[in-house]
Amino acid sequence: MTAHSKRKPEPDHSESATGLNPGDQATPGTPGTGENVCAKCRGTGRVGNGSCEQCGGSGRVIEGIGGG
């Protein structure tokens, strides 16, 4: 047995290359989706004393429109 430090696969919580926020369901411009006011911060981009993590502080998220 060697004492290698294990690297367990962890979900990547960092921003992806597309720049999506946690509240985004698709990249901007995706057919069938559109900008919507973030339900968590109600468009303010802030929750409490910090920025809203759902929309990344933008106050808006990309959501699917209608029932396709």
Query: Which residues of this protein are in contact with Zn ion, per CB under 5 A?
Result: 38, 40-41, 52, 54-55
Shortest spacing between CB 16 and Zn ion, in angstroms:
18
3-state secondary structure of 37: strand
| 60 and 43 Cβ atoms separated by less than 8 Å | yes
Number of residues that this document lists for the chain:
68
Shortest spacing between CB 36 and Zn ion, in angstroms:
10
| 38 and 7 Cβ atoms separated by less than 8 Å | no
Q: Which is nearer to Zn ion, 33 or 54 (CB)?
A: 54
Q: Which is nearer to Zn ion, 41 or 67 (CB)?
A: 41
